[in-house]
Chains A and B, each alone.
Chain A
């Protein structure tokens, strides 16, 4: 049902682009001189990270707009975006960890970016838990919007402080910059573009899903009232 609301053209293009992206990632782009085929993780890792930050940015903006306009559309958008952002953050952490094991020989290190990403993950798990655990829909929206804004304000501080903290203890492992050949750059940029469109697709899906869920809740409430009324009449 939800899929019908998408223009078919968009879905077809997205599907083809994903196949092309996989071809570029796994076959067309060359292995890296030192890392070999491990470098292919990067195309998914960086693209997921782009989506995650985009998603949380949208959540923060939608939260602010919601508090100003009080329109339920912005609340659903914020919620949907946070949910998708969390999935992509999980992918970032998992893919980063696998890459770290292959290249740095450790699954985890207290690198500032890694640490901040992990904290980000916890923050938005909290955001979603908060949202689903408040029964009153209006209140849930208001409270989540406030937390969404506070979390977004605090994120740069968290990142800075983690960086200072590592600055005090010199880290043994540092990420070396890549000097990528054009074929890798093209592959990376293409993957990022495909992931962004995939995010937009998911965002629309989840928002519509949320809308249906709300409608269903309303119906359920009406039925409950009706039954209650009938019982009273008897």
Chain B
């Protein structure tokens, strides 16, 4: 029953997105634009200086990810969609997990487009350990989206929502950011791969922590 509700709610989000494609198109365009702006800034850099760029990819992804979260949160407000989901006779944590799941899926899709654009425009090589890069990307996205979805629910009643969410989200996501950028830099050039244990632990730990904790607190949070 639990998994079925999760599946139904997630596929609802996916169906809406596949019909309208607004989130995907706007987020990819926006993130691509950021890459281009970035490209202008570093156009004079030498190949050696460009070496440190892969870690910067995550600045762009975090910004695009925040926009995606905001957009999903807006969608929940139309016609009292969230209230409808909360009134259904299901465990309320399902509503949270379904949102995390669909947000993560969207974000991974966006990243799959963004990363190649990033490599082309900023003259970056392909990551030397692509599998590890993809694992890190998915884990980081899951952790970031779990944290972000939780914080959009925290700030949902705030009348400064658009500004409060990033102010809450980015400081809390700093360990995640440090972990993923360090790992990215290492797997991109296959150097220092043996020194990453602590950072992998942060990526996994964040995903677990912010999947479990909000699941327990969501009930108190959405109590009307």
What residues of chain A have their CB less than 8 Å away from a CB belonging to chain B? 67, 119, 122-123, 125-127, 129-130, 133-136, 139-140, 142-143, 146-147, 150-151, 153-154, 157-158, 160-162, 164-165, 168
Residues in B neighbouring A168, C-beta threshold 8 A: 182, 195
Q: How far is the CB of A169 from chain B (nearest CB, A)?
A: 10
Contact A123 B158 (CB under 8 A): no
Determine if B175 and A67 form an interchain contact, defined as CB atoms under 8 angstroms apart: no
Contact status A129-B154, CB under 8 Å? no
Find chain A residues with CB under 8 A from B202 CB.
157, 161
Interface string of B20-45 (1 = CB under 8 A from A): 00000000000000000000000000
CB contact under 8 A between A126 and B175, given known A146-B220, A164-B198, A165-B182? no
Interface check B85, CB cutoff 8 A: no
Verify A162–B172 contact, CB threshold 8 A: no
Residue of A whose beta carbon sits closest to that of B217? A146
Closest 6 pairs (CB-CB, A-B): A161-B175, A133-B158, A133-B160, A126-B167, A122-B171, A126-B168
Contacts of B160 in A (CB 8 A): 129, 133
- Residue pairs across A and B with Cβ atoms less than 8 A apart, 18 shown, are A122-B167, A123-B171, A125-B167, A126-B167, A129-B164, A130-B164, A133-B155, A133-B161, A133-B164, A134-B157, A139-B157, A142-B223, A146-B220, A150-B150, A150-B213, A151-B172, A158-B171, A162-B174
Please, which residue of chain B has its CB at the minimum distance from the CB of A165? B178
Is there a chain A Cβ closer than 8 Å to B179's Cβ? yes
Task: Say how far B172's CB is from chain A's closest CB, in angstroms.
Answer: 5
Within 8 Å of chain A (Cβ to Cβ): is B189? Answer: no
- The answer to whether B159 and A135 touch across the interface, beta carbons within 8 angstroms, is yes
The reply to whether B172 and A129 form a contact with Cβ atoms under 8 Å apart is: no
Output the least CB separation between B99 and chain A (Å). 17
**Which chain A residues border B205 with CB–CB below 8 Å?**
157
Q: Is B58 an interface residue (CB 8 A)?
A: no
Task: Report if B199 contacts A (CB, 8 A).
Answer: yes
What per-residue 1/0 map shows which CB atoms of B172-196 lie under 8 Å from chain A?
A: 1011001100100000000000010
A162 to B154, alpha carbons, bound, how many Å? 26
How many residues does chain B have at the interface if contact means C-beta atoms less than 8 Å apart? 32
CB <8 Å contact, B171 and A130: no
Nearest chain A CB to B64 CB, angstrom units: 21
Provide the bound-state CA to CA distance between A20 and B201, in Å.
Answer: 50
Report the separation of the CA atoms of residues A181 and B114 in the bound assembly, to the nearest whole angstrom. Answer: 59
CB distance from A29 to the nearest CB of B (A): 36
Do A130 and B182 touch across chains, with their CB atoms under 8 A apart? no
Which of A143, A146, A158 contacts B157 (CB under 8 A)? A143
Residues of A within 8 A of B168 (CB): 123, 126-127, 130, 147
The residue on B at minimum CB distance from A119 is B171
Closest residue on chain A to residue B202 by CB atoms: A161
- B221 contacts the other chain (Cβ, under 8 Å)? yes
CB pair B172 A123 closer than 8 Å: yes
What residues of B have a CB within 8 angstroms of the CB of A158 in the complex?
171-172, 174-175
> Which of A125, A134, A140, A151 counts the most B-chain CB atoms under 10 A from its CB?
A134
Chain B residue with the shortest CB-CB distance to A130: B164
Taking CB atoms, residues of chain A closer than 8 Å to B182 are 165, 168
- A143 adjacent to B221 (CB under 8 Å): yes
Known: A122-B167, A129-B167, A136-B157. 14 other contacts (CB 8 A): A119-B174, A130-B168, A133-B158, A133-B159, A139-B157, A142-B220, A143-B157, A146-B220, A150-B213, A154-B175, A157-B202, A162-B174, A164-B198, A164-B199
- B174 to chain A: which residues have CB within 8 Å? 119, 158, 161-162
Q: Is the CB of B221 within 8 A of A146?
A: yes
| Bound form: Cα–Cα A122–B170 in Å | 9
What string of 1s and 0s marks CB contacts (under 8 Å) between B142-163 and chain A? 0000000011001101111101
Contacts of B201-219 to chain A: CB distance below 8 A: 202, 205, 209, 213, 217
A147 to B165, CA, bound (A): 12
Measured between alpha carbons, how far is A102 from B198 in the docked complex, in Å?
35
Docked Cα-Cα span, A126 to B164, in Å, equals 6
